[in-house]
Amino acid sequence: MFLKNVLLVLCATQILFFSTLLQAEEQLLTTSGPIVVATINGTINPATDDYLKSSLQQAIGSKASLYVLELNTPGGVLTSMQTMVESLLQSSIPTVVYVTPGGGGAISAGVFVTMAGHFAVMTPGTTIGAAHPVSGGGQDVEGDMRAKIENFSATLAKAIAEQRQRNVEWAEKAVRESVAITDSEAVKEHVVDFTAKDFAELLEKLEGRKVILPSGEMTLTGLSTLVVQRVPMTFRQQVVNFLSDPNIALLLGMAAMLGLGIEFYHPGGVIPGVIGAVCLILSLTAGQVIPINQGGALLLILGAVFMIVEVAVPSFGIWGIAGTVCLALGAIYFVDNTFIWSAEGFEVNTPLITSGAIISGIIFIFFGSYIISVRRRKVTTGLEGLMGQLAEARAAFICEEFDRGYSGKVNLRGEIWSARCLDPVVQSELVRVTGMEAGNRLLVERVAGKSDGN
């Protein structure tokens, strides 16, 4: 009996000990660090992917209690969306994807990013869905590629929903049927956890909620008292994000062609060459950000070649028109839609780019033709510029010794020159410059007729 009582005391002591450890562990995992907030308002691309990674790493490094991603996106690049989802799923701190502001939404690729957070929250008046793979202009992807991308995206959506314990059936329908729902419907369908009208309400509704992390269970407490740190994009990320617009990339490419073309045909201009070089570097950088269609890129190169041919070998505009058409077509097919997952934001503005191509072609041909005409123009300076010019004798020429002709003064372009002629010249007689001797003395010959005195 005594031994039984001892065993009971030992068991009770062990239970109390382990309970204390569990309480201590849970206490260690409760919130105490800052709240880090990042904002993505636009397309999902390599810049926003890098921004999410860097801001999340900063949050982890500062031992943040919570990472909040404020999201408003029409979709974006497939590969960028995948890596953003991976970063959120593998996060060692609690993450919240907050779809805001009102009127915005998490469309297409944004659906996957939203569901990947530990908590998914929406502002009233926002929408989520339409995750069916489409091209940059919103058109359906056709052919075998459509089935491959659709099956892959549906599987990915289901996997994310399962891991975050969300509505798996709706996730698949969002991809295959392109369904979209409002914030209130999303809560009912268990696509998101709740709605919050602002950031303060978001923290209020997160208070006391538990989240499972790789290190254990964590309780979100005291959020309203924590420091909020908003992390903006770095300058490099802002530049890359700006260049992710294919219209910007194409306009930079056209500017590079114009600047370098003018500098090539008229060396020494400096400014066009510098501007062209900078635009070329920026357009090449954009080419690394945006999925490029090889056919579109070749059409752009061909258009530039035709422009050069038009300037070098004038053809009454035939080469120039062909170059302009190639530039316009190349711009339209510049983006490879296979890798774009967006309802909008990555489409090429056809009227804008077509107008830009036509204007670029006109400017390139005009400047090129003007520069070549200047090169072919007769020289008007130096000895070459004086040859054949008419001058007026200021007085009768005087005969020189040793039968070297006659010498005198002539008025040429408002200047007085010494001159020598083989024939006698009378006052006010017109003579033509044929050469120049040592000492800058002109060689002239008589011209029929005399000056009218002007």
Give the containing element (helix H, strand E) for 15. Answer: helix 2-28
Of 265, 369, 347, 253, whose CA–CA distance to 303 is shortest? 253
DSSP H helix total and E strand total for the chain: 15, 19
Most confident of 14-23, 24-33, 194-203: 194-203
Helix axes 144-163, 78-89, angle to 10 degrees: 20
Q: Let me know: does 65 contact 102? Beta carbons within 8 Å.
A: no
337-384 pLDDT per residue, tens:
554 444 455 555 566 666 666 666 666 666 656 655 655 555 555 666
Parse the chain into domains and list their residue ranges: 31-234, 245-376, 382-450
Contacts of 383 (CB under 8 A, 6+ apart): 435, 436
The reply to whether 31-234 and 382-450 are identical in fold is: no
Q: What CATH topology corresponds to 31-234? A: 2-enoyl-CoA Hydratase; Chain A, domain 1 (3.90.226)
168-216 pLDDT per residue, tens:
999 888 888 888 899 999 999 999 999 999 999 999 999 999 998 888 8
What's the distance, CA 168 to chain centroid? 36
Mean pLDDT of the chain: 76
**Per the confidence metrics, is the pTM higher than 0.85?**
no
Q: What is each CA distance from 116 to 223, 340, 384, 441, in whole angstroms? A: 22, 19, 77, 89
How many CB atoms lie under 10 A from the CB of residue 386?
19
pLDDT of amino acid 292: 58
How far is 10 from 19, CA to CA, in rounded Å? 14
pLDDT of amino acid 304: 67
Residue 280's Cβ-count burial label (10 Å; 0-12, 13-18, 19+) is middle
Cα torsion 192, 194, 195, 201: sign: negative
* Residue 208, SS3 per DSSP: coil
Higher pLDDT residue, 332 or 416?
A: 416
Sheet with 35-41, strands from edge to edge, namely 194-195, 119-122, 95-99, 66-72, 35-41, 228-230
391-440 pLDDT per residue, tens:
999 999 988 876 678 999 999 888 899 999 988 999 889 999 988 887 78
Domain spanning 382-450 has what CATH number? 2.40.50.140
Residue 235's Cβ-count burial label (10 Å; 0-12, 13-18, 19+) is exposed
* Residue 337, SS3 per DSSP: helix
- Flag whether pLDDT at 235 surpasses 80: yes
Letter for the amino acid at 27?
Answer: Q
The answer for 234, left when phi > 0, alpha when psi is -120 to 50, beta otherwise, is: beta
- Flag whether pLDDT at 97 surpasses 90: yes
